[in-house]
Amino acid sequence: TLRLYHIDGKSNNMVTSVYLKGTPVQTCSFYVSLNQGPLQEQKIFSGGRRRYMHSWDIQTSLLPSQNAHGSMAKIEKFSRLYGHEESQRSFEKFKVAHFYNSSTNQSHGIILLQGNNGWINILHATTGVWLMGCKINGVLVDFCIDYKPVTGNKFQTILIAVNSYSEVWEFNLTDSGKVLRRWKDD
Task: State pTM to two decimals.
Answer: 0.84
**pLDDT tens, residue by residue, 162-181:** 999 999 999 999 999 999 99
- What length does the chain have? 186
Q: Would you call 110 exposed, middle or buried from its count of C-beta atoms within 10 A (0-12, 13-18, 19+)?
A: buried
The pLDDT confidence band at residue 140, using thresholds 50, 70 and 90, is very high
Average pLDDT over residues 25-38: 85
Q: Which pLDDT score is estimated for 85?
A: 76
Residue 60: C-alpha distances to residues 22, 54, 78, 183, 186 (Å): 23, 15, 19, 45, 47
The pLDDT confidence band at residue 7, using thresholds 50, 70 and 90, is very high
Q: Would you call 167 exposed, middle or buried from its count of C-beta atoms within 10 A (0-12, 13-18, 19+)?
A: middle
The Cα 34–Cα 124 span in angstroms is 14
